[in-house]
Structure 1
């Protein structure tokens, strides 16, 4: 796989859920590592990430074979943005802005493998066409299922003439009417041929049992996401200690309210309730270019979600309203924490077993209650999740080593 104009292949892998995209990516990376010291990997599937906790778009340098599931090889990427959700259906424009921001760091010196979402129906297919136009891969590997007609072959001609979700085909204007700022941001890279894609399409028809049947997967996607978070939290543990320490026994960092900006990504929260939302939550530790200034002792609330570097993640273990301090547990090293000036709270939850399985606590467990009214509007997913966890009862020991 060579590319005459740029010298290195850029391979984008796409297809429906449960067709083997992740397995193919690992095999391809390992195959390339037999000949090269490093391979770049760009994660565009925010629901099933390979090297980071869920909800991220990232660019990673892979130097060792990828042999296990994602929770066994969590690592710090070269560039990472916390999108804050496992699906981008509600804000596809911000998703594409994040992808473009991360992709801009790719130096085109080594091969790049790009993973995409399994959402390839309706708007998901149109969004995939936008991604192909934006990333200009040299090869598109399309995982498909026999007799599955929802996804046409993504040939260069099809991508060239078909309208995407935010871009138009050749016979139409190049950009959707998104406003002056958005249209300016959707210019093609300088020197890029906008006439037609030149990628090679490689078709793969998986024939393994239950291919494409996401509902029959042996491990639920939500459990895989939880295990990735647990794998990340394992870095909080000291390698010299045999027993796993519960989170409440670890010493958190104290962060003044006015030292970091705060933003809830996925929903609108009244300023008077913001601390209730942040307490006991999973947050992205980010760095925005603007200096955080506050005339009072905080908190500093952002009105828009920034597209910015994410340096890692943490758990807000507590909020001290008297001293105006966040108490944050994180494995991010101190030299990187000095760069953090923004906390992003998304729709990624701390795994239940982290809260429920706290050892050494007598009486009521912090942040855990059974006194909850499931008739409240919007609590249906909580009831479903509760029943799902009860039914499975975790066949494995759930810790964060």
Structure 2
């Protein structure tokens, strides 16, 4: 059994000085930090064999892990039948040495650099699938056809260390522990690395046990194929058609469907497939509740150049265009949502394929809003994901969209819809030479997924908090092996009159605005108007602007004497120089940031356990969608 030690985590001392907003006083260069070398975990070289029965033979003595890697293979394989697919949970750094493998649609070959692969139990487990080699050289001739040799290394980054530092997330990349009764443990056999028990002779084989132990030391635990992504025939056919369309032109692909149906997983697989043939793919995020590359509450347009092999909180990045909507649902202000989508879509240039992700709100006004988006964005292909009985939503055929009324647009039958103001209605009119917006022409592809959405994803609010934590992980310096608590990082100082302030989701009295801003999640935005304020007080906007968002931050404190905001943000200084607006929405800072950080002594600010929810008005108002408002039958008597 291979033993592995965790990397050393010596804290590196760093001399820090206070930072000021770059527009007024650029921060000084950070003082050099002392480096600390950490011991590395052993790497595992894994060979994926094709399914081929072999007669049992006496296993040869195994060499130490440093000299011989797991399942490293001459012509004769280990004395067991191995599958060409390895489904696992955990995290590792993947490099292909020989052959080729496919993971979440992306093909990994020997000429590519190592890729981080993260497969937490909160989502579908990733699978490594061996592919037949296009060219067989002298080295590959020693192996069976369809074989791949991989180098798996322990993945330890600043992001993973930051996420695992919170007690609720300490087992984030480990499989869920399954309790076994004491009397059943001996009857079922020895325990596996994932917390279960071995039920077959194959799992109790010494070679297999050593392989599982070394893989666990690297950071991954094999699991059953049912935990991984299982593409249905309809999904495979739709992906094949979209790849053929990419060869013919520049498609605009819109993926829609109800909640927890697997839209995000399908988008990741599709984009990774396209990256096998293209240098980049455009991705437009219209689902403000479950975003892919940004914290929640955003509509964004991103240029994807690298495969993303993990859930959203593992690959937070700055998009090419982003607007902070400020809420996880657009039901309260659908008109502003449409304006935001139009503003972001205007930055798309039809040079590379575009994949559009939509919300899971497909009933009632949500379906009408989706009809408006189809007319507005003019996709060439619409991928509709739904169950076989079509209970969630009706088929979005071009004919039905052409005649059906939208929320703000009318179909050819002049159905009812909400009325916009005159300026908004004029912007919806087609210019000369364009086709009628109510008559979209696209190809509809049906996909009936057979995988359970995002696996054991749990509540959507938990995934939103994970995205925020993944974004804040960018504050961790990559060269420091220990985790720096957020309260130990020096924030920026922003004068009140340097930025405008706006609360998006509700009306707040000017006398209470600072209470709302303190300890809040804010969007760092840029408005075209210049901020001019003679006094030192805060600048308040009367309307919510639709403007570029450059990043996010936490208002750590408000200094009323010096008229300063203290903001903690990973946005680089060159981008902060143009920030002149702070937008406060309905996206909250995760609770673990307040209560679970290391090094907190004394009373925790902004947190209390003495709160009585029985007081009238203390709870949060929630919209009841299941009740329909009855039409009033009362008539007014004018006499």
TM-score of the superposed pair, with normalisation by structure 1:
0.90
Query: Are 1:140 and 2:398 an aligned pair?
Result: no
Residues 1:292 and 2:531 aligned together: yes
The correspondence for 2:258, drawn from 7, 12, 16, is: 16
Per-residue deviation, residues 277-328 of structure 1 (Å, max 9, x unmatched): 0000000000000111112112000011000000000000000001100000
Q: Could you tell which deviates more after superposition, 193-202 or 268-277? A: 193-202
Partner of 1:97: 339
| Cα shift at 1:196 | 1.5
Distance 2:292 2:413 in 1: 38
SS at match of 2:264: helix
8 Å CA contact 1:82–1:310 kept in 2: the answer is yes
Equivalent of 2:446, from 203, 206, 230?
A: 203
User: CA distance change for structure 1 residues 372 and 174 in 2, over 3 Å: closer, same or farther?
Assistant: closer
Aligned length: 378
Alignment of 1:84-233 (within 5 A): 84-172=326-414, 176-188=418-430, 191-194=433-436, 196-209=439-452, 217-233=456-472
Q: 1:57 touches 1:102 (CA, 8 Å); kept in 2?
A: yes
Offset of residue 178 of structure 1: 1.7
Q: Determine the C-alpha separation between the residues in 2 that align with 1:377 and 1:237.
A: 42
Name the residue aligned to 2:309. Answer: 67
Q: Are the aligned partners of 1:263 and 1:345 in contact in 2 as well (CA < 8 Å)?
A: yes
Looking at structure 1, the residues matched to 319 and 433 of structure 2 have their Cα atoms a distance apart, in angstroms, of 28
Mean Cα deviation higher: 246-255 or 360-369: 360-369
Structure 1 residues 200 and 238: CA distance shift in structure 2, 3 A: same
Q: Which has the higher contact order (CA 8 A, sep 6+)?
A: 1
Question: Aligned match of 2:293 in 51, 68, 82?
Answer: 51
Deviations 1:326-368 (A, max 9, x none): 0000000011001100000000011100110132222211111
Deviates most, 351-360 or 315-324: 351-360
CA shift in 2, pair 1:77/1:190, >3 Å: farther
By how many angstroms is 1:370 displaced? 1.1
Q: Aligned equivalents of 1:174 and 1:109: distance in 2?
A: 37
Q: Which moved more, 1:63-72 or 1:372-381?
A: 372-381
In structure 2, C-alpha distance between the alignment counterparts of 1:232 and 1:150, rounded to whole Å: 33
Q: 1:3 deviation in Å?
A: 7.2
2:254/2:358 contact within 8 Å kept: yes
Matches within 5 A, 1:275-354: 275-354=514-593
Q: Cα RMSD over matched residues?
A: 2.1
Structure 2 runs not aligned, ≥5 long: 1-241, 622-639
Pair 160,294 (structure 1): closer, same or farther in 2 beyond 3 Å = same
Cα separation, partners in 2 of 1:120 and 1:175, compared to 1, 3 Å: closer
Shift in Å, 1:260: 0.3
CA radius of gyration, larger in = 2
Runs of 4+ in structure 1 off by over 4 angstroms are 1-4, 173-176
Q: Which of residues 497, 500, 507 is equivalent to 1:258?
A: 497
2:302 aligned counterpart, secondary structure: strand
Which deviates more from structure 2 when the two are superposed, residues 354-363 or residues 254-263? Answer: 354-363
CA deviation profile, 1:185-241 (whole Å, cap 9, x unmatched):
3223664311621100000112335x6xx9x95432111111110010011111121
SS in 1 for 2:424: helix
- 1:390 corresponds in structure 2 to none
Offset, 1:173: 8.1
- Alpha-carbon distance between aligned partners in 2 of 1:228 and 1:208, rounded to the nearest angstrom: 23
Instruction: Tell me if structure 2 keeps the 8 A contact 1:3–1:138.
Output: no
Q: 1:99 to 1:260 in 2, by over 3 A?
A: same
**What SS class does the counterpart of residue 380 from structure 1 fall into?**
coil
Indicate the residue corresponding to 1:394 in structure 2: none
Q: TM-score, normalised by structure 2?
A: 0.57
Q: Distance in 1 between matches of 2:598 and 2:486?
A: 9
**C-alpha distance in 2 between matches for 1:163 and 1:68:** 38
Q: Do the aligned partners of 1:287 and 1:308 also contact (CA within 8 Å) in 2?
A: yes
Distance 1:178 1:218, change over 3 A: closer
Cα shift readout 1:13-49 (whole Å, capped 9, x = no counterpart): 0001111101110010011101100000000000000
Residue number in structure 2 paired with 1:39: 281
C-alpha distance in structure 2 between counterparts of 1:377 and 1:108, whole Å:
54
